[in-house]
């Protein structure tokens, strides 16, 4: 059975890069009818951020990435927090010790820095020199007993054949062990480093496929050495392309501005965000008929690691907004009204109708807040261009003509205001020789106080006759000379 995992560190908010890694692991597991495991990598206690673990759970569930086993659900191969697996790591460290595959290294930070500077000056790869390799077991134990600080390092045979990884995305990838050198497995404080705990956990949790960013590729070669030394089966690795800015540069987290939490607050739907993240580095195949809008179920049906690209995926905010807008169109006005609650008590009963006015153009949920400005009494003083238009003699004549005729007909006929207003605007346009913006902008400015906004006639229907006539009358008064002091 296919078993994938997502193993975040609770050191901050879940950002787009990590969310995409989790999504690809989730989609592949579901596509193969396998299992998706959540493991919390909290070995580095000094870097933990309070509340981050809970935020990770919240964001994953909001995205629809529910795990089969994990800290909150449990499972047969738990615990699922690395901080609760210390005894397991220590037991496998002892196993490596018995196999003489590790040794204590007493190198000080100053010694390591001197080595680094020398290697740089000589143009050699930066790696540990192995200076404590030859220390006898007796001398090593003696120095440890004396309280001297040390780390445990993996003994790497630099003369052995290149390490070969058959990556699901990149094909066969090689690295010479000579480039790697003896790497640290346990820190001086007795805590395992990420790559050791990660390898042991993946093996014991029977993870079959590991999806991760290509920036982890160098770690993977080291972990393969750990797998082989401990006799573990190696999982299939899939190193995902990095995400770049639209200009092709390295993707920046921009101080958390692209965290899932912030994108949620900015009005993105989980379905829209998942749709876009899936396309960041993965190709769904021919979309000439279907387009690029996919539901979670459609993504699960299509997803395969073979279609993940090698080249950098460019992040495009406009495409994210476009896809999110398409997912907004799938929701009914009543569903949207629940996602964007009305903040104007007097419009509570008609909020779904108000949302319908701007739904066709909405790209994020926060766009629906714009309709609130059109429901309030216009502020004609905020836009000088609106003031100038309303003050013109032609506008005053046009508004006056339509206002009088509409009011008269509404009183006599009791017809729907939107029908009467549309007819009278059209009639005034013919008699005055006006059309397009010259005809409609004065009425948009009068009714909304702006040149932009929802379609005028549907808005008039929602506002009702009393409010429409009131706004036309107010616009004419504000447009007259000295109206501000009247």
Active site residues: 253
Distance (Å, whole) CA 322 – CA 137: 64
Q: How many CB atoms lie within 10 A of CB 256?
A: 11
| Letter string b/e over residues 333-367, b meaning 16 or more CB atoms within 10 A of that residue's CB | eeebbeebebeeeebeebbbebbbbbbeebbbbeb
Distance (Å, whole) CA 219 – CA 193: 11
Find out whether 81 and 40 touch, Cβ atoms under 8 Å.
Answer: yes
Q: Which two tokens stand for residue 161?
A: 């054949």
Q: Which two tokens stand for residue 95?
A: 């196993």
Distance (Å, whole) CA 134 – CA 327: 63
Q: How far is CA 318 from CA 25, 128, 254, 269, 321, in A?
A: 26, 46, 17, 15, 5
């Amino acid at each position: 059975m296919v078993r994938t995992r997502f193993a975040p560190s609770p050191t901050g908010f879940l950002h787009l890069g990590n969310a995409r890694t989790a999504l690809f692991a989730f989609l592949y597991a579901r596509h193969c009818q396998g299992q998706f495991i959540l493991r919390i990598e909290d070995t580095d206690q000094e870097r933990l951020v309070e509340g981050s673990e809970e935020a990770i759970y919240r964001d994953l569930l909001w995205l629809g990435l529910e795990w089969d086993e994990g800290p909150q659900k449990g499972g047969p191969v738990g615990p699922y927090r690395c901080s609760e697996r210390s005894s397991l790591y220590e037991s496998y460290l002892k196993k490596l010790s018995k196999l003489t595959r590790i040794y204590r290294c007493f190198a000080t930070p100053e010694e390591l820095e001197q080595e680094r500077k020398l290697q740089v000056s000589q143009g050699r790869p930066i790696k540990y020199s192995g200076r404590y390799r030859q220390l006898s077991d007796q001398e090593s134990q003696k120095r440890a007993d004396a309280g001297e600080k040390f780390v445990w390092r993996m003994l790497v045979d630099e003369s052995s054949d290149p390490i070969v990884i058959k990556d699901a995305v990149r094909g066969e990838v090689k690295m010479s062990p000579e480039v790697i050198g003896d790497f640290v497995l346990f820190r001086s404080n007795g805590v395992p480093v990420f790559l050791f705990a990660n390898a042991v956990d993946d093996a014991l949790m029977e993870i079959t496929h590991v999806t991760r960013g290509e920036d982890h590729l160098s770690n993977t070669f080291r972990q393969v050495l750990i797998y082989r030394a401990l006799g573990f089966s190696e999982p299939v690795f899939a190193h995902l392309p990095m995400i770049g800015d639209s200009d092709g540069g390295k993707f920046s987290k921009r101080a958390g501005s692209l965290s899932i939490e912030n994108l949620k607050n900015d009005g993105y739907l989980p379905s829209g965000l998942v749709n876009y993240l899936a396309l960041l580095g993965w190709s769904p195949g021919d979309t000439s008929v279907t387009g690029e809008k996919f539901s979670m179920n459609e993504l699960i049906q299509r997803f395969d690691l073979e279609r993940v690209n090698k080249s950098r995926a460019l992040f495009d905010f406009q495409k994210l907004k476009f896809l999110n807008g398409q997912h907004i169109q799938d929701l009914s006005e009543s569903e949207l009204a629940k996602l964007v609650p009305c903040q104007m008590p007097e419009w509570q009963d008609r909020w779904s109708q108000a949302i319908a006015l701007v739904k066709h153009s909405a790209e994020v949920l926060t766009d629906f807040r714009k309709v609130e400005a059109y429901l309030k009494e216009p502020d004609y003083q905020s836009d000088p261009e609106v003031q100038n238009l309303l003050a013109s003699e032609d506008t005053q004549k046009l508004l006056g003509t339509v206002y009088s005729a509409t009011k008269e007909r509404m009183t006599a006929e009791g017809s729907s205001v939107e029908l009467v207003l549309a007819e009278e605007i059209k009639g005034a346009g013919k008699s005055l020789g006006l059309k397009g913006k010259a005809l409609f902008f004065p009425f948009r400015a009068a009714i909304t106080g702006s040149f932009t906004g929802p379609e005028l006639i549907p808005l008039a229907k929602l506002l009702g006759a009393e409010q429409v006539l009131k706004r036309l009358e107010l616009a004419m008064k504000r447009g007259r000379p000295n109206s501000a002091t009247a």
